Structure 1
Amino acid sequence: MKSTDDRKLFGTPIGAAAAAGNIATIPPVQATAGDGKASVALGFPPETFVARAAGGEPPRGQDMNGLLNLLSSAISVLQTGYLGPFDADFAQNIGGYPAGALVGGSTPGAFWVSTADANVSTPGAAGATWQSLFAGYATQDWAGGAFISSSYGISQTSDYAGRSLFMREENPVFGYVGPNGLVWLALPTVAQMEAETTARTNADATLQSSINTEAQTRLLADNTLHGQINDEATARASAITTLTSSLAAEATARTSADATLQTHVAAEATARQAADNTLNTTKANLSGGNTLTGQQTITGNQYATVGVYTEVTGSTYDTDLIKGTSPNGTIYQIALREYAGSHYSMLHYIYDGTNFSIYELPQTAYNGGRLLCPAGTGAVLSDLPTSGTLAGGYYTKIGNVLTQTFSVSVSDQNTVTFPIAFSATPVPPQITIGERVDRDNAVYNVTATGFQVYIVGSGPVTITVSVTGV
């Protein structure tokens, strides 16, 4: 923007010459809700945005002229450069003046600057967060008391040309024209110089007295310190004599104690050697090589941490856990067998001098954990046959093989649901029709949960189903 640009000054507000019926005064809030009249709070109210057919009100030209008149009047005030005074109501409405805001004072030429945001305090009041726009500037009264006029006394001629000496109140002032302009120097008076001389003489006398007193104090302190040093030297000499005597006595006592300790150590070594010899002859050796006789009682859990591995077939390995012979001569042995890459089993060997028997208990993952013995493979509870009733019949189960027999009424292409679902598709079911009924039949679409039936003829018929699966 340039200073020569048209500033669009409002000489008169918009609508100033409008007839009274063509311009409205815009109130702060709408006086009657829903009447379509504009306000500062709402502008044009919501009902002016609704079609008249839907119950709305059209916006009024008087309100438009009134709003433009209100805005152009406010702009016209700003264009004059006028800064209004502080307004308490306005401050409350806007939440306080911001920091840096400028308002006029009560007298022309006075201005206040806000030093805080949200400022509602009154300029000039005690504790108010406002300061004068000219705070820190020099005033004429202050300059007259702090400076000397540039024309004071510079009027002498000859050797005193450009120089001046005069009294300013009670102080002589010397002025001259230097290379950079006027220079003014304040000179002391005779009374001031005499007072300074007296003060310095008194200060010198006081200082000399203080020096003499300090010298006497330090001399006394040095004498006292020398006496204390001599006392300390005597005390330390006596302490050294006592310490030397104590060290000699301590050395004698320690030599005697060392001799006694050595005697005790030798006696302890002899006693421990004898105890070790006795222990070796009466206790088991953990590294092996023991021969135990008589009945042995072992309490607590026993673990074989390092087994003796014996290769059996090249792919199986036995770890001996317990070996022994019973009082009647029967030899028994318990071992852990590893089937390489397969599983582990606990083995119990028994040999009575004639017969050699092996009892093997494998992991559950192998053969279901069933016991292997000379008489064959042992059964578990799940191997035992079970039976029971179900809807329309009964069932039997041996191991994991399930057989279901039941009766049900069906028609052609009906689906028959097994009372107990199989885990896989069973063999095709066998069906029979009741006595004195001769109708061709068949089964199809067999699944783990049921099948469909083909019955020639119409109407339902009772069939008996027998099906086996897992």
Structure 2
Amino acid sequence: MTYRYTNRATAQLAQSITPRDTIITLIPGTGDAFPALQQPTDRFALTLTSVSNPDQFEVCIVIGRQGDRVTVIRGQDNTTAQSFSSGDVASLNMTAGVYALFPQAGYMGVFDPTIANTINGYQKNAIVCDPDTPGLLWVSTKDGNKSSPSDQDGAWIHLTAGGNYADAGALDTEKKDRQNSEAALQNNFEDGINNEASLRAQADKQLQSEIDNEAALRKQADNQLQNEINDLERNKVSRSGDTMTGALFSTGLYDANGGKSTFPLGAQLDNAQIYLELSKTSDGTIPASIVFRDASGGIHHFINVTSTGNLVSQRGNPFLEVPSQGGQPMRLEAFTTIADNGSKVTFPTPFSGPPIAILMNAQENDWDCAAALGTWTAEGFTVTDYAQNDASRPQRVIIMAVGPA
């Protein structure tokens, strides 16, 4: 059964009717405003209203129309069949009863046997809700279906049954399966939450461990740095009289005579300086020097150490090396004085014992002179000669003596 509609369909009765009349004649030419009923099951609702008394109305169901003549079922939708006069209004309106018939158009209403009888049965493929089981839908398998889904006579098929007619056992099984599925889903959801919480707790624990390790490493580094600072504080020379226990080096370089020299490390008084210096020469060797810079700016390398470890003078001449005697360190003393045969010569700096060698040489006239044996003491000796002093007077002599330091 299908209800048809047209917009603003209204007309007037051409003749009066009694409650028994089922054919209504409309004013000629106005019937075409209403729907054409092409199928035997086509219908539309027609409301009759009295012009003299608008509160008087009746709902009819039109089951056929030929031009201006309509065949009706009287007294529908909780109204009663009444008498109407010529000129009263007949109109197509949406009624409460028609709204109730929406299931035939696919409205998901609950199956209702009263509606089924009113619409002369549900159409094929109409869908209704099960009156007892929420969420259970039924599909009509035929037109004019007045059977209840619970009859299980094949007139209805469960919407999800895949073509198999549902029975009570199948519904119970499906209901249990749905419940089990929902329970499993809930369990999986809870397990997922628990797993997520466990993973987060594990990640938090690992992060805290990393933070603790980082804090420990930082504390260790801070302690090491503090120890180094303390060592520097203990070892630094900050004022006169302090003692430095560590090494002190000057590593800065500046260009000097085609090579590189370290910045000096030494002492200064007014404009005079004495300092230690390392220099890298053009041939790549690195000698060391004790340098004296006089107040006029003159540079004197009075002691130099070659790259091979030899001591040399400012002119590059090696120093005399006097070996020790019997474990006793020796030193050399050289000087000039005025002497003659029998003169007493005193060493500028006394030795710690008698010298082991004394050399003499006259600087003026020819004179063969020497230190007389038996006269050598730590303080000096007596001059003797082996030939006459041609100068016939005391003359200048050079003396070199080696003795215990």
Q: TM-score, normalised by structure 1?
A: 0.20
Q: TM-score, normalised by structure 2?
A: 0.22
Normalized per residue, which structure has more strand?
A: 2
